[in-house]
Structure 1
Amino acid sequence: MKSKSAGTRQAGRQDQQQALVRELLKRHGTTYAEEAGITLRDTPQPLYQLLVLSLLLSARIRADIAVASARALVKAGMKDPKRMLEATWQQRVDALGEGGYRRYDERTATQLGKGAELVLDRWGGDLRKLHKSGDVESGLREVPGIGPMGVSIFLREAQAVWSEYQPYLDDKALQGAERLGLPKSPQKLAGMVKKDQLASLAAGLVRVALSADVSRDVWDAARG
């Protein structure tokens, strides 16, 4: 039987963890899709835009540059696979450059063209067909430029509309949880938020994993 003091300490720890999660969501819980201007719904265009964003984010480049480049592609009219494929390689390069995505722009422009062609040929431009196939992860890995990291990024965000993937908290998100002193179990973390907050929680935890400054900001806010 636990002593009263042990129970008090445990309750205090749980309160602290809940405060950390609350501040994390408030300060850094914007999903990467939201940051890129994507209103994520279970419809073809936003799902494709999330796929493009996942490809960009999976490269060795800053997340803010990847997000800006995703916005630039949409601004240039490449908002669906048909328009992405119809754009010239140079137009894709130019849009990526506008977003600051210069180190990998030529290779990525090629991948975006080939990926758009695959999405059109395989799923008629509609990733909901991939979803219905029940083999989402394998299908995503066939898209040029989408490796295991790209799959994780896509599903961390897509869990907001594909609820059977909840809770999708991959190794990177769990690294963030460990840095904050939160549970390292996806199920325990999921129990600390509402279901519609899981994608936001995942995004916030990834930001913590990527930045000690974000971690300190959350800790300072939770203590205050």
Structure 2
Amino acid sequence: MTQQAVVAALLRSHGSTYAEDAGIRLRDTPQPLYQLLVLALLLSAPIRAGAAVSTARALNETGLRNPRRMAAATWQQRVDALDRGGYRRYDESTATQLADGAHLLTRRWHADPRRMRAEADGDVPILRHLLQDLPGIGPTGADIFLREVQAVWPEVVPYFDTKALRGAERLGLGTDGAALTRLAGDAGPAALAAALVRASLDDDLVTECLREARTRSAA
């Protein structure tokens, strides 16, 4: 059983990014990048990933797709959208964080996350620090954003945070970012990183992937 066989098995069953699951068509343009920031905020709370993803969808469907619309919405409109997505436990504090973050992004970076990227000037640790200036985005949220945005921001590659590397270890793939990027192949490191995070959280997923990889290698 090779590492490539393990990665292939993992990506076959869990090869979508969290942004894709949330219906975000990630491109290097302001709106989808903002939607990814919101998703990173939602995913960083101690709540099921499925609830965070469905809440990101609910916010987008409500029309809160960019920082100006988010800031212009009432607090209750944000709470209602969060509730529809299943984010009830954190709806009130998150509604406030979303508004404060939208105001800051608009004021400091003209509502365009690419300006944050430009301020970092290719330095990923600086970018990670800047992300944490946004209310509700701590180290975990910054890692989530960087893990996913590497699909469109090449200077971030490879980005495998602690959770992704834990999943890689459980699958016997090692923890070298460059090697993991090579193993990702055409799927890309963002897709592999997301799949590895799922592996870090799910014993059954690890068992199933290793079993499939062994079976296919022996065939």
TM-score (norm 2): 0.93
Secondary structure, in 3 states, of the residue corresponding to 2:89? coil
- Deviation track 1:34-91 (CA, whole Å, cap 9, x = no partner) reads 0000000000000000000000000000000000000000011100000001111111
Asked if 1:120 corresponds to 2:111, the answer is no
The residue aligned with 1:166 is 157
Q: Give the alignment partner of residue 195 of structure 2, picking from 188, 191, 204.
A: 204
Aligned residue identity for 2:153: W
Contact 1:58/1:150 (<8 A) preserved = yes
**RMSD, matched Cα:** 1.1
Pairs aligned (count): 210
- Deviation track 1:2-59 (CA, whole Å, cap 9, x = no partner) reads xxxxxxxxxxxxx521101011111101000000000000000000000000000000
Contact 1:33/1:157 (<8 A) preserved = yes
Per-residue deviation at 1:217?
2.2
The residue aligned with 2:74 is 88
Secondary structure, in 3 states, of the residue corresponding to 2:196? helix
Contact 1:28/1:204 (<8 A) preserved = yes
- Deviation track 1:115-152 (CA, whole Å, cap 9, x = no partner) reads 00001001110011110111322211100000000000
Distance 2:33 2:159 in 1: 17
The residue aligned with 1:139 is 130
Distance 2:146 2:182 in 1: 19
The residue aligned with 1:37 is 23
Secondary structure, in 3 states, of the residue corresponding to 2:64? coil
Q: Which runs of 4+ in 1 moved over 4 A?
A: none
User: Unaligned stretches of 5+ in structure 2?
Assistant: 121-125
Structure-to-structure mapping, 1:6-85, within 5 angstroms:
15-85=1-71
Aligned residue identity for 1:27: S
Q: Give the alignment partner of residue 103 of structure 1, picking from 89, 103, 111.
A: 89
CA distance 1:115–1:39, change in 2 (3 Å):
same
TM-score (norm 1): 0.91
The residue aligned with 1:194 is 185
The residue aligned with 1:223 is 214
- Deviation track 1:138-168 (CA, whole Å, cap 9, x = no partner) reads 2111000000000000000000011111010
The residue aligned with 1:7 is none
User: Unaligned stretches of 5+ in structure 1?
Assistant: 1-14
Aligned residue identity for 1:180: L
Question: Sequence identity, in percent?
Answer: 57
The residue aligned with 1:10 is none
Secondary structure, in 3 states, of the residue corresponding to 2:184? coil
Structure having the higher Rg: 1
